Amino acid sequence: QQQVKQSPQSLIVQKGGISIINCAYENTAFDYFPWYQQFPGKGPALLIAIRPDVSEKKEGRFTISFNKSAKQFSLHIMDSQPGDSATYFCAAKIGNEKLTFGTGTRLTIIP
């Protein structure tokens, strides 16, 4: 049973634009929601994370928006750059339990 649904599967954004990736979860016990960025041939790297007591978290050009009532969270990449082209995974976990990942979004930033 997939507990974290991620969309879109792939996304093409022009340089300088805003990239938006969405995730929805089912288990209301999740208390930690990280986003990972993965480049080809590399392991996923933690990008930014949020807990459900906060509705938004911003780190540089990356922002997580969290809607607890809708059980949704999203990643916004402002001023998208070609170097942001990668696969992005949302995830969720309860305490020290395992990470449950979304299916990934392949982001391509075109000049």
Partner 1 sequence: KAGVTQTPRYLIKTRGQQVTLSCSPISGHRSVSWYQQTPGQGLQFLFEYFSETQRNKGNFPGRFSGRQFSNSRSEMNVSTLELGDSALYLCASSPWQGGTDTQYFGPGTRLTVL
36 binds partner 1 (CB under 8 A): yes
- CB nearer to partner 1: pick between 55 and 103: 103
What minimum distance in Å lies between the beta carbon of 91 and partner 1?
A: 8
Site membership for partner 1, residue 11 (CB under 8 A): no
Q: Which of 41, 69, 83, 111 binds partner 1 (CB under 8 A)?
A: 41
**Under the criterion CB under 8 A, does residue 53 sit at the interface with partner 1?**
no
- Residue 51 CA neighbour count, 13 Å, CB half: 4
Contact 6, 22 (CB under 8 A): yes
The helix/strand/coil state of 82 is helix
Q: What is the DSSP letter of 93?
A: B
